[in-house]
Chains A and B, each alone.
Chain A
Amino acid sequence: MTRPGSTLRISAAGLRGIVGHGLTATHVLDFAAAFATFLEAPGRVVIGRDPRVSSVMMREGVTGALLAAGHEVIDLGIVPTPVIQHAIRRLDAAGGVSIGASHNPAEWNALKFFTRGGSYLSSAQSEELLDIYHLRKFRFARHDGTGRRAEDAGAIDAYLDTLAAEFPMEKLRRFRVLVDCTNGTSGLILRRMIERFGLDLILINEALEGRAFVHEPSTTKKMAELQLAPLVRTVGADAGFLFDIDSDRVAFATEQGEAASEELVQVVIADEMLERGCGRLVLTNVCSTALLEEVAGKHGGKVVRLAVGRQAVIDALAGYRMEQVAVAGEGTGAVMMPQFPYVYDGIAAMLRMLERMERRGGRLSELIADYPPYTILKGKIPVRTRFIPELFDELEQRWPEARRNRQDGLRLDWEDRWVHVRVSQTEPVIRVICEQRDGAPRRLFDEVMDLVRSYSG
């Protein structure tokens, strides 16, 4: 195994790294103790994990720290992250912890934190948590005030009750759906949905795996093309979906065996919700497809562009009433809906797409064929951090006629195309995203990549 330099990342998003090589038990204990202090004991805290072997180690540490602070720990076992957030609401808990590294490879792991109502932490809350972590002034209970641990095996069914209240399960039974669970937590939910609602789901890679996943757990179009699309036609399915490990993201393929762009998850759901008049606003990041503006325009809706990352979406959502928002998300296949109080929920996203198929009565390929063709190209290049400001300046000077947006890195816009260059939050690289209506923006993309590359190494 290759061992890159430092993999540990402690940020507003929580704690993430390669276990044993950057991310250690000490980090887990300290961070969990900081969160336990942040929540102000004694309270009830819901925890759950993904199937990684290292998640058991992390669960033990998180449990120890929460109990020591006097919290009651409700352990859901192996569950998707949206189920943890659902259980926090259902049990009126003070918060929760999701243990798992989502779309990262098996050797990674992470802690994600939630507050009352199952919400992600706001930026201000995250900063407070980080301050406590850095100060290492943790509050622990006296010996007779330490907490107790309990299990709750009913979390998945309670979550399914909520899904059943929102989606017409009876009607969705007519679709045959192929799902690649990537050895992650979605299999638990989907298997139970087959039992309870009689949905016609064909599950592959359903077995939970702790040491290695059958393929990289990413929800990109490339992965869907490679792993999912070829099988959809073979089994004669009406649609195919692919989940990451903790089921917050989803990718899909049509009945024709064609993988769709990950950007389209958000588009299809925005289309559905705006058409039904559920809110007017689409919150998305600065480098999601421009197709969103077209779809929003069709229904008289409006797109709000934000900096990249879940945190920007969470912070922005705090400023809107729930009924104003149709959908919020990112081009990665991570979508939140107000009906599921702003939780990235891949399962709900899948059901919403099936619901749209059912309502419109068409095939999935036809549904997305309605959209004007946009082509998106994505690339990444490592650069020397020191020269990043100069890089952005040079990009601006190179295309003075373009509209500029420096909300997060630099986005340059023309009538039919745009390019976005920014610094990754998770890797030491520059990401380039370029999109054009009617045909691939190959020349623009190559020119930008060449320019960025001149700053590398």
Chain B
Amino acid sequence: MSRAHQLKISVAGVRGVVGEFLTPNLACAFAQAFGTYVGPGPVVVARDTRASGEMLVHAVSCGLLASGCEVIRIGIAPTPTAQIYVADIRAAGGIAVTASHNPAEYNALKLFNGEGLFFNQYERAELLDVYHQSEFRHALNEEMRRVVIDAETAPERHFARILRHVDVERIRRRRFRVALDGVNGAGSVMSVRFLRDVLGCELHAIHVDPEKPFPRDPEPRAEVLTELSELVVRVRADAGFAQDPDGDRLAVAGETGRVLDNDDVLALAVDCALRKKKGPVVVNLTTSSAIDDIAVRHGCPVHRAPVGEANVVERMRRVQAVIGGEGGNGGIIFPAVHYCRDSYLGMALLLERLAETGETLNALAAGLPRYWRRSGKLPFEHGRVGQMMQALEAALPGARADRTDGLKLMVDEGWVHVRASNTEPLVRVSAEAKTREEADRLYELAVSLR
């Protein structure tokens, strides 16, 4: 592991390895900076199921109270649920203690404004300045506010918003048989309630114990979801769902147990959403061109944003998008519910579509435009991305270039994209083309360049 990345304090917040690097002292100071920036007012605090979450919640509460904010603790809750709660109660802001799909030894603070959204890049820079300058608001005893515990209402608020946009009776009537891998994450309890009680599914759930550690790599990719695939086959489920520890990402397995490509899941979701309402679509630069083809079928435009939920959401707000997301990582953003990546909305949309069409997931996926994708990662070295960009552009003369996030080169057959990860010391390489050979060629070309 690179020395520089065991702790990262950036415009994205604080992320680090718990223990030596991400300490309660740092979390407290950062929370006080946050409270100074958004407060004084109520700030919602949630966490995922990482054991270190408990100590960080207390440290964060301390910093928020010290800045004069009221602390509303909603306990273990998925990130989208926390975001919706912030918006619902019109809080001053929110902090989710979660390192999302990162390994268990990490933890992080995800920060939200009073609307339950990520701050824009300028606000994030401003907040970071407050932290670095230690210009904190220090409340006196008479100005201090309390801690309120609400471990009950957050899931209901989230469900209520989703149910306004899907035909829940239609889903319930089908009594779908569904398999779930909750990764023992923040959604463990809530997802069971959602699928079984709200959507009326016959649920077969694994890893839904919030007291237990993550049973697998927490990022829900096909390679780590074999248990789910086997479960789908064994119980003959109509669909299999897998979440990440904070419930924003969703992976989907079809009725044969095959885990669908995340880009295909997003494409299905985009199709579902555009059937409900026409409008612009926003995805990140690395998302499949299948999205463009779907949007064209509905006569809707597609906008591309740099990678990262905050960037996608920012663009979605600007163009009044009706759906958006990030293909590679299984994030579906449906603004009618909230501007956040939401695995629950994703599950509901897909089940609704199955109910509407009477088709299977594999059949629906088969109807999607067919592309071949390759993606991978290389260890980050200073200067490496720049060299790769230069060499790649020279190797593909005449390609259309997009430099908003690393370099994406578009040729007639497909595209290739090289960029530095925002969260890990990695260089990410993606390529897509109409044929497997062409996708391989573009990918191999990029990773061979040093």
Contact = CB atoms under 8 A, between A and B. Distances in A.
A146 B142 contact: no
Interface in A348-394: none
Interface string B365-398: 0000000000000000000000000000000000
A64 B56 CA distance: 6
A212 B52 CA distance: 36
B146 A19 contact: no
Contacts of B104: 143-144
A143 B213 CA distance: 11
B63 A19 contact: no
B138 to A, nearest CB: 4
Given A20-B139, A60-B147, A146 B63 contact: no
A11 interface: no
Nearest to A147: B55
A153 B202 CA distance: 41
A142 B105 contact: yes
Interface in A1-43: 1, 18-21, 24-26, 28-30, 33
B59 interface: yes
B19 A142 contact: yes
Contacts of B59: 29, 60-61, 64-65, 68
Contacts of A57: 61-62, 65-66, 144
Interface in B118-168: 136, 138-147
Contacts of B213: 144
Interface stretch (A48-56, A223-231, A403-411): A48-56
Range for the number of chain A residues in contact with chain B:
35 or more
Interface in B6-37: 17-20, 23-25, 27-29, 32
B54 interface: yes
Contacts of A29: 24-25, 28-29, 59, 62
B348 to A, nearest CB: 33
B62 A64 contact: yes
Nearest to A32: B24
B55 A64 contact: yes
A64 B66 contact: no
A107 interface: yes
Contact of A211 (B55, B62, B138, B141): B141
A54 B68 CA distance: 10
A149 interface: yes
B198 to A, nearest CB: 31
The A interface is mostly helix, strand or loop, or mixed, namely: mixed
Q: B52, B56, B62: which has the most chain A beta carbons within 10 Å?
A: B62
A106 interface: yes
B141 A107 contact: yes
B61 A60 contact: yes
B47 interface: no
Given A56-B146, A61-B28, A142-B18, A68 B62 contact: no
A107 B140 CA distance: 7
A159 interface: no
Interface in A82-130: 106-109
Nearest to B107: A143
B51 interface: yes
Interface string B37-81: 000000000000011101111111111011000010000000000
A68 B55 contact: yes
A306 interface: no
Contact of B51 (A28, A140, A143, A210): A143
B256 to A, nearest CB: 36
A20 B138 contact: yes
A20 B140 contact: yes
A1 B140 contact: yes
A58 interface: yes
A148 B211 CA distance: 12
Contacts of B65: 25, 56-57, 60
A74 interface: no
Contacts of B105: 142-144
A24 B66 CA distance: 7
A20 B141 CA distance: 8
B360 to A, nearest CB: 41
A63 interface: yes
A42 to B, nearest CB: 13
Nearest to A52: B141
B43 to A, nearest CB: 13
Contacts of B51: 143-144, 146
Contacts of B20: 140
16 contacts: A20-B141, A21-B138, A28-B28, A30-B25, A33-B25, A56-B65, A56-B146, A60-B147, A61-B62, A65-B24, A68-B59, A138-B25, A140-B18, A144-B213, A211-B141, A211-B142
Interface of A: 1, 18-21, 24-26, 28-30, 33, 52-54, 56-58, 60-61, 63-65, 67-68, 106-109, 138, 140-144, 146-149, 210-212
Given A60-B58, A60-B61, A64-B59, 20 more contacts: A20-B141, A21-B140, A24-B138, A25-B29, A26-B29, A53-B141, A53-B144, A53-B145, A54-B144, A56-B144, A57-B65, A57-B144, A61-B58, A64-B27, A64-B61, A65-B24, A67-B55, A107-B142, A143-B17, A148-B54
